[in-house]
Amino acid sequence: MARRMSPRPFREAGLIIGLLAIRIAVAAEPANDVLGQMEQAMADVRTVKTDFVQEKQMALFNHPLVTRGSIWVEPPHRLLWRVESPMRYALALDGSRIRQWDGETGKTTSLSMDGNPVFAAVTEQLNAWFGGRYGLLAQDYEVEQQAAAPATFTFVPKPTAPSAKMLESVTVVFREDARYIASIQIADRGGDVTTLTFVDTELNVPLDPKAWEL
């Protein structure tokens, strides 16, 4: 009598094969293509309004630094970053114009990115990461997809990239619907780690243009 094989090993084998298939599929699909799809998915995002929690674990301090605030984005060139605690601060990027407001002094300062390459580079990074311009980032980073759901990518700076001297990697986790970022983790070469988690994210809601005037 022929023994009927238990379906369990099949299931286990199927699970293993399935997992392998997923891994193979993840590995086989070029990350850049997936990133392109993500960028495409974010293409209809006209505005982003989100709160954030930033946690910095640094050798410089005995305890992590936790910062809370909100971020507004109007891709590709407008970004507003407000810090509510532990201090009050705001940064508004509008094209090549930068405005900063310091809650301690109550003063607002304006500067232009013209001829200010360092600030221009920082702005470039902010706009790229939060504006979903992954095609631009792919020029400077090797991209690897860590997980399919939620989509998670690790960006490792290429040796020739300006950020290679500072950054170890940047890990971006997307929301389930892949329409925006859920968190970003930045690991620098000195071992410090910054994690930025987005909460209560709203997409395509009207943003007050006066907010950029600070």
Partner 1 sequence: MAGAFRDKLRQGLRRRPVVAGLVAAITLAAAAALPFRTFDGRIDVMLPDRSELRSVFGLLRDIEVADKVLVTLAMRDGSAAPETLAAAAETYVAGLDPAWAAPLATGFAAADVADDFAKLARRLPDYLSEADLRKLRDGAASTADVRAALQALKNRLQRPEGMWSAVAPGSDPLDWNGRLAAGLLHAVSSFGYRAVPVGNHLMDPERRHLLLVLQTPVPMTDVDGGRGLLAHLAARAAELPAPVEARIVCGHLHTAGNEAIIRRDIRRTALAVSAVFLALFWGAYRDPRAAGILLIPMLASVPALAAAAALFSSFSFIVLGFGSVIAGIAVDYGIHTYVAARSAQPDRNLSGIRRPVALSTLTTLCVFVAFCFSSIPAYRQLGAFASFAIVISLVYAFWALPPFVRRRVSPVPEPPLVAPAAGSRARAAGIAGGAILVLAVGVGLLARLALDPDVSKLDGTPQAVLDEETRAMAVWGGGPSRAAILVVEAPDENEALRLNDRLYAELQAAGLPAAEITSLAPLWPSAETRQTRRAAWNETWTDARIAELRRIAVQEAAALDFSEQAFAAFWERFAEWRDVAAEPESAGFLEPLRRQFVHARNGAVRATTFIPDEPDWIDAALRLRQEMPELRVISRRAFSADLSAQVIGEMRRTTIWAGIFILLVTGLALRRAGMLVMAALPAVAGMVWGGAGMALWGLSLNVSNLIAGILVFGLCIDYGICMAYAQRRGMRRDMFRAVTLSALTTALGAAVLLIADHPAFLSIGVTLVFGVSAGYLYAWLALPALQTLFPRLNPPDADVSKEGGA
The footprint of partner 1 (CB under 8 A) covers 54, 56, 58-63, 65, 67, 76, 81, 83, 86-87, 89, 91, 95-96, 112-122, 124-126, 135-136, 139-140, 159-167, 186, 190, 194, 196
Element containing residue 51 per DSSP (H, E): strand 48-57
- Please identify, using beta-carbon distances, which residue of 30 and 117 lies nearer to partner 1: 117
Which backbone phi and psi does 75 adopt, to 5 degrees? -60, 150
Q: How far is the CB of 156 from partner 1 (least distance, A)?
A: 14
List the beta bridge partners of residue 183. Answer: 173, 197
Q: Which two tokens stand for residue 139?
A: 């020029």
Q: Which two tokens stand for residue 97?
A: 């114009």
- Please identify, using beta-carbon distances, which residue of 144 and 188 lies nearer to partner 1: 188
Say which residue the tokens 């989100």 belong to.
50
Q: How far is the CB of 200 from partner 1 (least distance, A)?
A: 19
Q: How far is the CB of 179 from partner 1 (least distance, A)?
A: 22
- Please identify, using beta-carbon distances, which residue of 30 and 95 lies nearer to partner 1: 95
Q: How far is the CB of 100 from partner 1 (least distance, A)?
A: 9
Handedness of CA 105, 107, 113, 114 (dihedral sign): negative
Q: Which two tokens stand for residue 160?
A: 């020739």
- Please identify, using beta-carbon distances, which residue of 74 and 140 lies nearer to partner 1: 140
Q: How far apart are CA 65 and CA 67, in angstroms?
A: 7
Q: How far is the CB of 190 from partner 1 (least distance, A)?
A: 6
- Please identify, using beta-carbon distances, which residue of 84 and 144 lies nearer to partner 1: 84
Q: Which two tokens stand for residue 195?
A: 């994690």
Which backbone phi and psi does 158 adopt, to 5 degrees? -70, 150
